[in-house]
Amino acid sequence: MASDKIILTGDRPTGRLHIGHYVGSLRRRVQIQDEGDYKRMYVFIADAQALTDNVDNPEKVRQNLIEVALDYLSVGLDPEKTVIYVQSQIPELCELTFYFMNMVTVSRLQRNPTVKTEIQMRGFSGESIPVGFFTYPISQAADITAFDATHVPVGEDQKPMLEQTCEIVRRFNNIYGEGTLTEPKIVLPDNAACLRLPGTDGKAKMSKSLGNCIYLSDTAQELKKKVMSMYTDPLHIHVEDPGHIEGNTVFTYLDAFSRPDHFAEYWPEYQNLDELKEHYQRGGLGDMKVKKFLNKILEETLAPVRERRKEYEQDIPAVYEMLRKGSETAREAAAATLDRVRHAMKIDYFDDAQLIAEQAKAFSQK
Ligand code: ATP
Ligand code: MG
């Protein structure tokens, strides 16, 4: 039996994609895509959402659209299997957002922990938050439900958005009819290190807006430089000192990327990550050695991505054409959902012959 799963995710074109995106969401998307157990898979570039906190920098969003598209193709998203589209090209999303706005209170939005953190990060203070940014969880609910998405593979920071979406769907269906909209499920990475990969500074999560990223498109030299200057354990000063694993970014990245066969290939002194961690904690293992190992693993992972990117960069008009076609396909799907929504909301006046007949009758009897 064919699967009825509809998979959907997106990324903001606020910069090139980084290894946090890769372990948090991209790697899973490609795996789901290639396993083929779905009815449809959508991946979109959230340019309209990116504008909510970049209103005075439209050029940034415009320039990064193609970068994100190239990142998608280079990690293995395939437009033959996945509908890749641009959010702003689907006006139905605005319409659905507009209807959803009536179902969410200001206090509910203020409770969203991810938005709270993001407001702080962006330095918005008091009531200076753009209304569009404040309400983006509502627009995200429209992004998801317009395509009847059942599964959304994202990083942990998206949990509050999915919860908000489910609340809206339940409220909507309760008022306008069960089954009108579909409640989505979040698909989180199964590896804890991938839920929210920290930045190379070890502080917050790796994020385009914080400048603490290893980009998928970094050169081998850039990658090495970033790995070698990564945050580790500040108390591990001399090689003999016992080291700490918790909060040690290098080990978090090894948790996210290393496999036993990496040890066999690059560091046969250890069988697996547990053995390496034990030695580090015991003392006698220097940071540089561990960083060199991490660099080899990341280089092995990223080199093919970098190579594929170079190939796609040779034909940029074809990449835009791919996005245009994907947006056309996506728009048809969203339009079908909006027809259903307008009908459920009783605002499909001109398609409702019964309404027109009843009104005609009522008025003729006046
Ligand atoms: P911005 O700073 O502009 O918000 P971002 O780096 O947070 O950019 P998004 O486009 O907001 O990236 O996120 C896209 C997807 O990648 C989401 O599913 C998000 O959960 C996931 N993601 C982003 N950063 C990380 C991270 N550090 N670890 C795991 N997943 C991440
Ligand atoms: Mg983000």
3-class secondary-structure state, position 44: strand
The reply to whether ligand 1 has any atom less than 6 angstroms from the CB of 206 is: yes
Spatial strand order of the sheet with 151-153 comes to 83-86, 40-45, 6-11, 151-153, 185-187
**Rounded CA separation 190/261 (Å):** 20
Closest CA relative to residue 228, chosen from 290, 284, 270, 305: 290
* Ligand 1 within 6 A of CB of 196: yes
Instruction: Report pTM.
Output: 0.94
CA–CA dist 202, 155 (Å, integer): 17
207 C-beta closer than 6 A to ligand 1: yes
Distance 243 CA to ligand 2 centre (A): 32
- Rounded to whole angstroms, the Cα distance separating 61 from 51 reads 7
Phi, psi of 84 (to 5 degrees): -105, 120
Ligand 2 centroid from CA 207, angstroms: 7
Q: How many residues does the chain have?
A: 366
Q: Which of 157, 121, 120, 117 is nearest to 140 (CA)?
A: 157
309: left (phi over 0), alpha (psi -120 to 50) or beta: alpha
- pLDDT of 76 reads 97
**20 in ligand 1 pocket by Cβ < 6 Å?**
yes
The confidence score (pLDDT) of residue 155 equals: 87
**Residue of 8, 17, 18, 21 best suited for mutating to test ligand 1, as the one with most atoms within 8 Å of CB:** 21
Q: Where are the beta strands (DSSP E) in the chain?
A: 6-11, 40-45, 83-86, 151-153, 185-187
Taking the C-alpha atoms of residue 300 and residue 139, their distance in angstroms, rounded to an integer, is 38
Q: Is the pLDDT at 1 greater than 80, yes or no?
A: no
Q: Please state, in angstroms and rounded to a whole number, the distance separating the CA atoms of residues 297 and 254.
A: 9
216-227 per-position pLDDT tens digit:
999 999 999 999
Mean predicted lDDT score pLDDT of the chain: 95
Number of the ligand 1 atom closest to the C-alpha atom of 53: 3
The tens digit of pLDDT for each residue in 51-72 reads 999 999 999 999 999 999 999 9
24 pocket-lining for ligand 1 (C-beta < 6 Å): yes
Q: How far is the CA of 50 from the centre of ligand 2 (A)?
A: 9
Eight-state DSSP code of residue 13: S
Q: Is 158 in the pocket of ligand 1 (CB under 6 A)?
A: yes
Handedness of CA 109, 112, 118, 123 (dihedral sign): positive
Tell whether ligand 1 has an atom less than 6 A from the beta carbon of residue 27: no
Q: For residues 105 and 305, what is the distance between their CA atoms, to the nearest angstrom?
A: 43
Residue 229 Cα to ligand 1 midpoint, Å, equals: 22
Give the model's confidence band at 159: pLDDT under 50 very low, under 70 low, under 90 confident, else very high. very high
Task: Tell me if 71 CB under 6 Å of ligand 1.
Answer: no
Ordered alpha helix ranges (H), 247-315: 249-257, 260-266, 273-282, 287-313
* 13 exposure class (CB count in 10 Å sphere: 0-12, 13-18, 19+): buried
Mean pLDDT, residues 85-92 taken together:
98
Tell me what percent of the residues of the chain surpass a pLDDT of 70.
99
Closest residue to atom 5 of ligand 1, CA basis: 207
3-state helix, strand, coil in the chain (%, to 5): 60, 5, 35
197 C-beta closer than 6 A to ligand 1: yes
Q: Hey, is 52 helix, strand or coil?
A: coil
Percent of the chain with pLDDT over 90: 89
Task: Give residue for tokens 């027109």.
Answer: 356
Number of helices and strands in the chain (H, E): 17, 5
Q: Please give the domain boundaries of the chain with CATH numbers for all domains.
A: 6-197+315-356 (3.40.50.620), 220-312 (1.10.240.10)
CA 246 to ligand 1 centroid distance, Å: 22
Per-residue pLDDT, averaged over 316-341, amounts to 98
The pLDDT value given to residue 329: 98
19 C-alpha to ligand 1 centroid (Å):
10
> How sure is the predictor about 33, in pLDDT bands with cuts at 50, 70 and 90?
very high
Distance 242 CA to ligand 1 centre (A): 33
- Report the alpha-carbon distance of residue 42 to residue 146 in Å, rounded: 11
From the alpha carbon of 210, which atom of ligand 1 is closest? 2
CB 16 near ligand 1, within 6 Å: no
b/e map 345-356, b = 16+ CB within 10 Å: eeeeeeeeeeee
